[in-house]
Structure 1
Amino acid sequence: MSARTDDLLPRRVHVGYALGSLTTGAFGTVPGLLLLPYLTDTLGVAAGLAGLLVLLPKAWDVLINPLAGRISDRTRTRWGARRPYLLVAGLGVALLFASIFAAPFGIGNGAYVAVAFLATATAYAFFQVPYVAMPAELTADSTERTRLMTWRVAVLALAILISGALAPLVVTAGGDGIPGHRWMGIFVGALIAAGAVGAFLGTRGAPTGRVEESEPSLRAQLSVATANRPFRTLLIVFVVQAAGIATVLAGVNYFAEQVLERPDDGPTLLFAAFVGPALLVMPLWRRVGAWTGKTRAFTIASLLFAAGALALVAAPVLPPVAVYLIVAVIGAGYAGEQVFAMALLPDRIAEAEAHTGKRQAGVFTGLWTAGETFGLALGPGVFALVLALFGYVSSDTGQAAAQSDTAKLGVLLGFTVLPALLVAAPLLLIRAGSTHRRTAARARP
């Protein structure tokens, strides 16, 4: 079925909305990539404690994100309910992100990082939740939402490539250690600000959705969202998979140095291999989704990611070119995961709002982004636990300490087997949900 003309969005809105992924991509990537090594190898924080310092501030988002969603649901401005948050909260994230790596104290910098990260995560909630809620209100057409998400994920992949590949280089160019990380914080903060301003300006004049009443309380909205089985299943799968993806991000530096033995150019090459193909396969995934349906395409992409991660276990005996090709396969699977998860979310929101007749996008996306943020924080925490269990030695010199073969094995398993399991295992929930829906459909008179 073709979309109605009034459901189609101009290319300006596609691009403008997608620019917000510069913000989400940079904030979602760089802390997962550099914060744990910064704590263990620059500030000298023990691996287990460092994992907690990364995890706990983002766990706060489980509480704050639904509240941010309800607040944006009830916002009424001439700019719409969501757009003011893109600008104000987005610029706040940019400033606070730079502060995370400022290291203003001679001692206690680990605790300072935790507090600064908590403040940044709070500001980010008020950007991310309204941003993710917008597609359900921009268009009522499911195919147009997929097109919108394709643009968004393309920019997301570009943001990951820019921030993930260049941030380590900025640290090196800035003199490594604390000075290098300060320059990196400024660089990534500028990227975050560019995405916030671009999304705000690019969605000017775009549809803002009907102004509906919301449920009378946050508790009532949360009850509606969590009782929605299709949304709940998708959320659980996405959260667990986000943890798996985050273990890959957290392990890049460690894998490059301890397994590939290429600490200088290894992280950048791994990121280029991971994200570059993602940009190329985006049109292909869109065709796969049109051919098989979004849910099946999401499953295919997830299995491709998991298969690539398992194959990477052989990295110590493979030539570098083979390692980077396998990482490219993982990146292709990641691109499909993101496209179809993000395309399924607004469909679930629209179905729920059509059923209840009330505005709920903010709370649904508040739960979604809280789960995603928690998953992205859980990944580094679990990876740090693996490092601790396998005897990884921390350092306060700005350079990694010499590691035992056992510690190197922990790095390898945490970067390969762990994310493969976290991405593939929750697919069983999707299969069970599909069986439940078919059974329910046959039972109807």
Structure 2
Amino acid sequence: MSIAVVGGLPVTSVITVSGGSQRLSVTANEVAICIVNQNVVQGHAFYDFGDQKQAATIAQQHGCLEQKASVSPGKPVYVRSCRCGLAQLPDHRARHMSGQANPGRAERREGISNTLIWGYGSGNFGLALLGLVVAVNLQFFYTDFVGLSAGLVAWSLLAARVFDSLTDPVMGYLSDRTKTRFGRRRPYFFLAAIPLAIAFYFLFTPPIVEDPENHQGYLLLYMLALYIVTYFIWTVAAIPYFSLGAELTDDYNERLKVIAVRESCTLVGLVAATVLPAWLIYAYGGLQGYSFMGGILGGGVAVFLIFAAIVSRERPDFQGRPAMNPYAGWLATFKNPHFARLLVSFIFSSLGAAVPAVLVIYVAVYIIGTPEWWTVMIPGWMPTWSYYLLLYFVSGILSLPVWDRVSRHIGKRNTWFIAIIMSTFTSAGCFWLSEGSIGYFSFILVFGGIAFGNFLAIPPSMVADVIDWDEVETGKRREGNYFAIWAFTTKLGAAVTGFIALQLLEYVGYVPNVPQTETVKTWMLVMYSWFPALCYLISAITLLRFNFDARELSRVQERLNRV
């Protein structure tokens, strides 16, 4: 290997590796990194001076250079490491960037404050609150209160979610390349907060018609338009928000803490989303209650997003890096083998969780029902379905510290595997639900909620880990691309499975607000139990192929100089 330095601007060098030659252009005042490992160049760049000795001297003064050989004019400069933060090009092939300097590497960040962690996490209280109300209440509201048929509601949900999914990569791309004095993520929190509150209100305030059966097309267009607008604005906030969580710290366990705190706020938001809608609907009644709910909860979402934007702090050294075309960035993401394996498992887990979210109110109302003792002992504002969700999410909240401790002992993959197996058995057990089986269902929900707490915290922290591997390979920080794909799979899975579930209900004879036939009940239970159980089982099997643990992360971060 030889390196020749030519004076003038820009400096051009010739690097010869295994008989080949690559020409590299480097701009002024850049430190050269020439990491030599088994005679293979792994990185490059250097000070823009005609004299190598002068370049090496200045580099040493800046603490950027550790010599491996004496330096004299006309001889190569061999460097073992660089602590100035410039890029080290990855893997065992010589790589280069033509016509521009390599982007800088970020310094390692850890030991972030609890104020920052909880301030950031609070934003997900609002996003989760909105998300659950839409996922659980929207279809039931439009079928049983507004009067739109289940089949048309299914088409509306599918079309809106597919459109929403296609916006995810664009939003990830825009967020990754945004550069402002407020950061590249937080400006979108401010931008989306108020419009999201307004759209959420109108989604649950449809026009009242006296004869819904003769106005199905009109009601369908209204629901579809407001659903698309609501989730588009949600995406504008959510993709940058989840991407920011992966950037806050480089520490393996501290990342889990950030995600665990965020998902604790998620679960508190989910609890609020089970109690507040039920109380508001009971207090104000029917359509008006849903409208009040939309206004009050929409305002709450805006407040928490703005608060998270104010308290959170970004890393300025992650800004200004070149971004790929949004859809090309998606394709490039799948070249990360660790993420691809993780994503397959997550997709099946998401499918397993999607159908119960759609059907839980239907199962509570039409299969288990409301026993007479419930109406006597329990306040009227607490319907059975609200109690079920409350029990489920409280169990998830209480489980988070346990999962955090387990993960520190056996690793994230093994911890998630345990939760998936739990979900498989709890889902299958729901097939034996029957009228009045509140106690049996409560038992299942406690263990299902414990598994759900794991599902919220562990997988996203695993994504944050494999993003570092991608940075080594590409020299870019592409959290937006990764979490856009993560959100896309969740949304598309919910759209497709929700569509199938509602279409199947209509096909087998579902009629709103009347006792259901045994055929309808049986198909409800099959979709609520065996389908999720099968998805979870496949998820567990595919997860066994994932092998990126704390030791692998340390090796990657060594190459990023962030150990």
TM-score if structure 1 supplies the norm length? 0.90
State the secondary structure of the residue aligned to 2:433: helix
Report whether the alignment pairs 1:186 with 2:295: yes
Match of 1:85 among 188, 196, 218: 188
- 1:387-424, Cα deviation, whole Å (9 max, x unpaired): 22432113xxxxx2221121122222222222222233
| C-alpha distance in structure 2 between counterparts of 1:256 and 1:42, whole Å | 17
Letter in 1 for 2:116: V
Change (3 A) 1:238 1:187: farther
The structural deviation recorded for 1:88 is: 1.4
Percent identity of the aligned residues?
Answer: 23
More helix by share: 1
Report matched runs for 1:292-441 at 5 Å: 292-316=410-434, 319-394=437-512, 400-434=513-547
Partner of 1:262, secondary structure, is: coil
Q: Is the 8 A contact 1:133 1:361 kept in 2?
A: yes
2:126 is the counterpart of 1:126: no
C-alpha spacing 1:278/1:23, structure 2 compared with 1 (3 Å): same
Q: CA deviation at 1:386?
A: 3.3
Residue 409 of structure 1 aligns to a residue in which SS? helix
Distance in 2 (alpha carbons) for counterparts of 1:234 and 1:138: 21
Structure 1 pair 372–319 and aligned structure 2 pair: CA distance change class (3 A): closer
CA–CA separation in structure 2 for the residues paired with 1:348 and 1:54: 32
Provide closer, same or farther for how the CA distance between residues 317 and 166 of structure 1 changes in structure 2, counting only shifts above 3 A. Answer: same
Aligned 8 A contact 2:370 2:384 in 1: yes
Segments of structure 2 that go 5 or more residues without pairing to the other structure are: 1-106, 210-214, 372-381, 549-563
Asked if residue 286 in structure 1 is aligned to residue 421 in structure 2, the reply is no
Distance in 2 (CA, whole Å) between partners of 1:376 and 1:195 is 25
| 8 Å CA contact 2:244, 2:314 repeated in 1 | no
Cα distance change of structure 1 residues 404 and 349 upon mapping to structure 2, 3 Å threshold: same
Cα pair 2:368 2:437 within 8 Å, conserved: no
The answer (yes or no) to whether the contact 1:136–1:350 under 8 Å persists in 2 is no
- Asked if the contact 1:13/1:206 (under 8 Å) is kept, the reply is no
State the superposition RMSD in angstroms: 2.1
Deviation at 1:167, TM superposition (A): 1.4
Q: 1:407 to 1:35 in 2, by over 3 A?
A: same
The one-letter code sitting in structure 1 at the alignment partner of 2:289 is: G
Spell out, residue by residue over 1:347-380, the C-alpha distance to the aligned partner (whole angstroms, 9 max, x if none): 1212211221113111222222122222233342
- After superposition, the Cα gap between the structure-2 partners of 1:240 and 1:39, relative to the gap in structure 1 and judged at 3 Å, is farther
Check whether the contact 1:244–1:379 (CA below 8 A) recurs between aligned residues: no
2:197 and 2:298 in contact (8 A); partners too: yes
- Preserved CA contact (<8 Å) 2:278 2:383: no
Displacement after TM superposition at 1:306 (Å) = 1.9
Does 2:366 match 1:248? Answer: no
CA distance in 2, matches of 1:209, 1:367: 24
Say which one has the larger Rg: 2
Length, aligned pairs only: 425
For the Cα contact (< 8 Å) 2:367–2:433, is it kept in 1?
Answer: yes
Which protein has greater RCO, CA pairs closer than 8 Å, 6+ apart?
1
Shift of 1:160: 0.8
Which residues in structure 2 correspond to 1:185-204 (within 5 Å)?
185-203=294-312
* TM-score normalised over the length of structure 2: 0.72
- 1:443 aligns with none
How far the C-alpha of 1:272 sits from its partner, in A, is 1.4
The amino acid of 1:48's aligned partner reads G
**Pairing partner for 1:152 from 250, 262, 271:** 262
Amino acid of the residue matched to residue 92 of structure 1? P
Higher deviation after alignment, 87-96 or 114-123? 87-96
Question: In 1, distance between residues paired with 2:282 and 2:323?
Answer: 51
Report the AA paired with residue 502 of structure 2. Answer: A
Partner Cα distance (1:266, 1:15) in 2:
32
